Amino acid sequence: MAIPENVKGAVDIDPWLEPYAQVLSERRFLADRWSYEIKHATQDGSEQSLSQFARDSYKQYGLHANQDTKEISYKEWAPNAKRAFLVGEFNNWNPESHELSHRDEFGNFSQVFGPDPATGDFLIPHDSKIKVRFVLEDGSDIFRIPAWITRATQPSKDTQKQFGPTYEGRFWNPPAAERYSFKNQRPKFNLSRDSLRIYEAHIGISSPEPKIATYKEFTRDLLPRIKYLGYDAIQLMAIMEHAYYASFGYQVTNFFAASSRYGTPEDLKELIDTAHSMGILVLLDVVHSHASKNVQDGLNMFDGSDHQYFHSLAGGRGEHPLWDSRLFNYGSFEVQRFLLANLAFYIDVYQFDGFRFDGVTSMLYLHHGVGAGGAFSGDYNEYLSGDRSGVDHEALAYLMLANDLVHELLPDQAVTIAEDVSGYPTLCLPRAIGGAGFDYRLAMALPDMWIKLLKEKKDDDWDMGFIVHTLTNRRYAEKVVAYAESHDQALVGDKTLAFWLMDAAMYTDMTVLKEPTLVIDRGMALHKMIRLITHSLGGEAYLNFEGNEFGHPEWLDFPNINNNDSYHYARRQFNLVDDKLLRYRMLNDFDSAMQHAEMAHQWLNTPQAYVSLKHEVDKVVAFERNGLLFVFNFHPTNSFTDYRIGVDVAGSYKIVLNTDRKEFGGADRIDESQRFFTTDLEWNNRKNFVQVYIPSRTAIVLALDK
């Protein structure tokens, strides 16, 4: 059978896909058909681009202020409602005075409100409270925060006592003097050439103080640290408004509203613009996989029905079995409009440079990766055996459209990352050849491997072959973001790598005023080695969660009923790095040296490493990547003199990174001034070899001395 042309490129890359080419073709065809329908969904029959559709949507729906005429337009989709009214402080919450009098056949309500007759200014004051009131067919009415609201705030404590903690919609329309204007160009990013070193961060915890930090504090305090460390991208979590802080931002209530906990929309714009001035991309952790079940705050039951934005609860597809949240109906044209416009909005209004899509595994499968359905072995039948694979074709098609849109809007810097644990084939191949269009997927097996080793194996029993296999086991031509630990491993109930390695000793023995204990010595050595081998062998990009770079000594626990609403663990103690009497700064400085070494010599985003040595007795791993030679000695006690390491390219090599430096908390056993000359003799299937001194629990990186 001939391979369908629309997936031929993907099959050429991976011939094992050939038996499934028809399935892949059908899945791509659905996205292409939706794209065609969107492009021709114009009133005059003309063709529009995907980006034009998304931009027009967020500019038409919701509330918009005309700065010239002082008119305010409002449009809302609520097909289950009979009538709609805008209410708020501006009309003393009068339920009848300001009706959205135009209702079209699709259930879109709209109205243009002229200036205030008394003042000639906008009818609705800036940042005043508003809601939409819907009258249903049975005569009952409901009040909701507008679905496209761009600002929602927590009520005061007094209001919460009286009416509960329901969020308040706000009309955001600052005067010209208070509107932030972007000053800097976005950094460019070339997917085929540039490295990507991502600093994953949460604004609220980005302070040593037990409080919710702000956008302005992050701009002032964190951006310089991130620049010093050498990261070239920031991935911001919990930006989309969420009523429950402890959800880590993953129970979104207001999709177009940047969280007001941290400040104003203008403050977030300043943060992103400042990052751009430092050459740093800013990615949004976008949650389109599900939505909060909150009725008063969010989209759930928005127009009185349970199936407006989501699958019906009656059918079993409208609710996530574990997350207690609602699931979008991606096959709905209006849901596609809402979500695609959401992406365009964050790109245009806030100048985000791309997205990390949360919960992609849950989106891809009708079983959401839960139970037996989520036990992925890598067999292609699990993904591609037609309907038996349990793939949600509509969700996959939406993700394809989302990638089309982001790359259309940002041709010079777009980054899209999929949080997918399943290993779905073609997820990170270009749309044009039959893939889903993501640039990267997260290498979610890597932190699991490190935690498992630290929990279950003694150092002597670490399997070098298993470590190397796990780090290199990724699909050809599909890029991954490697990481040793992310926010998942920092949460209470789990432990960070530093905690697994050093635990309680971190509270007493990290001072430089006494010699390091065996626990601290081991912990700091392995903390650096685990990061370096993950960074250099595990993927085409790298990610670190804030605080983990310096071995943050505590887990992350947001204020909740179980801890008496305490912020003690909902913070990052950057003060530990600044204390010159503590060893945390040494781990921090190593992380910076590692990022800058990659910046200078670039091993990320290059072809996979050639691993020449995995010695189980010596616990030595050696590999070459992009002309660099990496040597790791994981042995807990044995150091090796004149250890032969195979290398393909002859010449003189020098050390460009060394985990054993004194300033990194090492024992300073390696002379970095020496040069290593190759011997023209084949060794471990390489044309030459060098001889190196490699002390126990150390790693070195060598480059040709040009």
Catalytic residue IDs: 358, 419
Unique residue bearing structure tokens 């949004």: 284
The helix, strand and coil proportions of the chain, stated in percent and rounded to the nearest 5, come to 35, 20, 45
Written as one string, the DSSP assignment of 476-537 is TT--EEE-S--HHHHBBTB--HHHHHHGGGGGTS-BTTSPPPHHHHHHHHHHHHHHHHHHHH
Name beta bridge partners: 198: 233, 543
Closest CA to 259 of 240, 285, 273, 284: 240
Q: Which one-letter DSSP state was computed for residue 150? A: S
Contact 282, 272 (CB under 8 A): yes
H or E stretch at 446:
helix 445-456
Chain-centroid distance of CA 691 in Å reads 41
φ/ψ of 2, rounded to 5, equals: -65, 145
In contact, 206 and 182? CB cutoff 8 Å:
no
651 by Cβ neighbours in 10 Å (0-12 / 13-18 / 19+) ranks as middle
3-state DSSP assignment of residue 32: helix
DSSP designation for 389: G
Alpha-carbon span 537 to 472, nearest angstrom: 7
CA dihedral 268, 272, 277, 278 (to 10 degrees): 110
Measure the CA–CA gap between 16 and 24, rounded to whole angstroms.
12
Structure tokens, 702: 């060598």
